[in-house]
Amino acid sequence: SSAALAAAAAAAASVSESSGGKPLVGIIMGSDSDLATMKAAAAVLEEFGVPLELTVVSAHRTPERMFEYARSAHSRGLKAIIAGAGGAAHLPGMVAAMTPLPVIGVPVKPSGAHLDGLDALLSIVQMPKGVPVATVAIGNAANAGLLAVRILASADPNMLDRMLAYQAGMTDTVLAKAAKLEQ
Ligand code: RP5
């Protein structure tokens, strides 16, 4: 709902404020109905302390807003854009066409969709040579968040340390489970 989206956007803004920084990652989605999927990307960024912004930008319903968003993103200080959409999911590709920033596409499976998100996946992943979109699995917005963190980590030693700690934590969790199974 739009109330949920407003709450999520406000939470994103407060993360940015509390870290004293302008947003480094922009999360956009074609519809507020995508929020249930896309909030996982915001949760990852919040966990890593990455200032973010989050809003709805629709390629088909608000094309001029998409143009403005994509054109201004790099000069506003964003370092990466995560774009999610379902169905004929043109948002990530169109945004990638209008920004020099890395764009991560999230194929969203809208509820009640007939094609299970495969339409969105193919719309996002089949970009022509020259206009890349890093595409994650259908619905896997968490991985989009993690990829954005890795992009930031390539130029930020603190973020690199956090990613190393996250990976070590994952390894420990799996090893602990394996040890339990072996008992
Ligand atoms: C896409 O159509 C959106 O990204 C969403 O996944 C899907 C359905 O949107 P709504 O009709 O729920 O607004 O553009």
Using the mean position of ligand 1's atoms as its centre, give its distance from the Cα of residue 85 in Å.
Answer: 7
Between CA 165 and CA 178 the distance in angstroms is: 20
Ligand 1: residue whose CA is nearest its atom 7: 86
Least confident piece of the model among 9-13, 16-20, 65-69, 81-85: 16-20
34 pocket-lining for ligand 1 (C-beta < 6 Å) = yes
Handedness of CA 178, 179, 182, 183 (dihedral sign): negative
Q: Is 119 in the pocket of ligand 1 (CB under 6 A)?
A: no
Residue 87 region by backbone torsions, left for phi larger than 0, else alpha for psi between -120 and 50, else beta:
left
Environment class of 14 (CB within 10 Å of its CB; exposed 0-12, middle 13-18, buried 19+): exposed
Fold of 2-156: Rossmann fold (3.40.50)
At 12, the pLDDT band (50, 70, 90 cuts) reads confident
pLDDT at 3 over 90: no
- From atom 1 of ligand 1, which residue's Cα is the shortest distance away? 86
Q: Rounded mean pLDDT of 153-174? A: 97
Distance of CA 131 to the CA centre of its chain: 18
Which atom from ligand 1 is nearest to the alpha carbon of 58?
Answer: 14
Which of 31, 65, 106, 123 most suits a substitution to test ligand 1, by most atoms within 8 Å of the C-beta?
31
How many other C-beta atoms are found inside a 10 Å radius of the C-beta of residue 55?
16
Contact present, 101 and 108 (Cβ < 8 Å): no
Contacts of 152 (CB under 8 A, 6+ apart): 24, 25, 50, 79, 80, 159
Rounded to the nearest angstrom, the distance between the alpha carbon of 57 and the centre of ligand 1 is 11
Average pLDDT over residues 57-83: 98
ipTM for the assembly: 0.96
Tell me, using a 6 A CB cutoff, whether residue 105 lines ligand 1.
Answer: no
Collapsing DSSP to helix, strand or coil, 52 comes out as strand
Per-residue pLDDT reduced to its tens digit, 99-142? 999 999 999 998 888 899 999 999 999 999 999 999 999 999 99
Q: Structure pTM?
A: 0.94
- Residue 80: beta bridge partners? 25
Residue 110 Cα to ligand 1 midpoint, Å, equals 7
CA distances from 129 to 97, 126, 133 (A): 11, 9, 10
**Nearest-CA residue for atom 12 of ligand 1:** 33
Residue, of 21 and 35, whose pLDDT is higher: 35
Q: How far is CA 42 from CA 109, 137, 146, 172, 176, in A?
A: 18, 17, 10, 24, 28
